[in-house]
Structure 1
Amino acid sequence: MSLVTKVSETGFRYPYVIGWTGEAVEEHALRWRPHRDGERLSYAVERRTDVAFGVLRLRQGQSMMGKPDFTTVNTRRQWRCMDKLLCQVCAQSAVDPDTGRTWWLLSSSEGAAGDGFTNAPPTCRTCIPEAISQCSHLRRNAAVFTVGASWPYGVRGDVFLPYLPPVVPFQENAVVRFADTEGIRHCIARELLVRLHDVQPAVTDRETRRAA
């Protein structure tokens, strides 16, 4: 998988995690497979990389071709950033080399609760000012943190009813915790959710210069 982020003609860097119209969701037949605890949702022809943490993942291309779609994320790239603690903008490490803590850019409503779960991958310290300036929501609600640890919490995805032909999901864009082992078996994941631990407010370089 390429780590190269795409840049527009005007010099704008497209975030690594966003979806592109040329990466349309691959249409594949679904089926129910026997599982020791009941039926498990599966593609009719499975690939080794289809399942992670026991959940079926959405299949998408990785070409970054077509037009950028800021309303969606690419499942595999979002998952990779969460799993490897990579910046959602540049795909480089978001872990501070001096402290070992991970930089995370959230909305103020997400950060207010302290430790919690999120679908937003980390953002490295260098990319935080750019991410805030390019997003109208973050310009109003950005909150910057460093995080001591994170671990998989669940997924956001579509849940299907077992034992029926899996054609139309019973729930769309639902939050399913990994602790819900039955729900996980019946789901196609679109985003990985992680729980954050030891969340501390942080100050960006831009804020430091502004206060000086």
Structure 2
Amino acid sequence: MTSHRPPVTPEAPKRSARQQFYWQGLHVPFVAPWSDEEPLPTSLIKRVGPDGAEGIAYADEVSGADRRDGNLWVRWPLLRGRGQPRLADIHPLRQRQAMSHMLCMVCATSTFNNDEFRRWGGKHLFIGRDVDGRPIRDGDVTDTPPVCLPCAVEAAEACPHLVKGHTAALVERTEPWGVSGIVYDPRTLRPIPTKTKNGLTDVAFEDPALRWTLAARDVVTLHGCTPVDLSELATLGVAA
């Protein structure tokens, strides 16, 4: 049912800097949704796919817009900067864009072929919350896009989740793993309860539940990970 995308390579297209938004002194991340960007109402039905397997579909589905690699995605408008930012949430389509093209999740500039990328030997910076003192390791699964060094330092000092503790690593490459989304019961078409705070479940491409999943985030695995200290990395960057 699903055609796996190849890993992102340095030949991926570079993206120009996008308009930056600030709210009450905080830099609003590119992947953050705004209050005017509410999920669009939809009606789900069962449908037999090209592979003969049954799964969910929209009653008024437009395959080119609603699916990616055969996976059904949530419908969200793109109205960045409209209303108030919801800093604790993630906009599904911008997250997907940032992950697919390796854009900084805060400023949306490419993390390919810049000074940092070359100085780090062709690696990308990833950060996350430090929940158990465990560093980022090879094979870790994440739905958090990369980040440029200035935005990483800024986020570590301003983001409430990261101020409490964060971990960072330089990563050689990412590989598509699956999606994070809402899994529906094949019999009732009702969402299957989950214990996660965001209500989403990580589903691998090989999982039969994928065809019953309404995707909201791209999920990748990290490879060639080197744990780093952000402060030291920033100091080295200034020295360079």
TM bucket, shorter chain: 0.7 to 0.9
CA distances 1:34-82 after superposition (whole Å, capped 9, x unpaired):
1224212111122212112322111111102111112210000001111
TM-score (norm 2): 0.78
In 2, the alpha carbon distance for the partners of 1:33 and 1:209 equals: 55
Q: Give the % identical residues.
A: 27
Aligned residue in 1 for 2:225: 199
Letter in 2 for 1:147: V
In 2, the alpha carbon distance for the partners of 1:163 and 1:18 equals: 34
Aligned residue in 2 for 1:73: 90
TM-score (norm 1): 0.87
1:114 pairs with 2:131: no
In 2, the alpha carbon distance for the partners of 1:158 and 1:24 equals: 16
Is 94-103 or 182-191 further displaced after alignment? 94-103
1:50-61 equivalence runs, <5 A: 50-61=66-77
Letter in 2 for 1:107: R
The structure richer in strand per residue is 1
Q: CA deviation at 1:105?
A: 1.1
1:1-212 equivalence runs, <5 A: 3-8=18-23, 10-35=24-49, 36-47=51-62, 48-64=64-80, 65-95=82-112, 96-98=116-118, 99-109=121-131, 112=135, 114-115=137-138, 116-164=140-188, 166=189, 168-171=190-193, 172-180=199-207, 182-204=208-230, 209=235
Pairwise CA RMSD: 2.3
Is 23-32 or 46-55 further displaced after alignment? 46-55
1:21 and 1:68 in contact (8 A); partners too: yes
CA distances 1:105-148 after superposition (whole Å, capped 9, x unpaired):
12234852512111111111121111111112212221221101
Q: CA deviation at 1:20?
A: 1.3
Q: CA deviation at 1:207?
A: 5.7
2:136 and 2:225 in contact (8 A); partners too: no
Q: CA deviation at 1:183?
A: 0.9
The unaligned stretches of length 5 or more in structure 2 are 1-16, 194-198
In 1, the alpha carbon distance for the partners of 2:230 and 2:135 equals: 18
The unaligned stretches of length 5 or more in structure 1 are none
4+ residue segments displaced more than 2 Å:
2-5, 94-97, 107-113, 202-210
1:39 and 1:163 in contact (8 A); partners too: no
Identify if the C-alpha distance between structure 1 residues 33 and 3 changes in structure 2 by more than 3 Å, giving closer, same or farther: farther
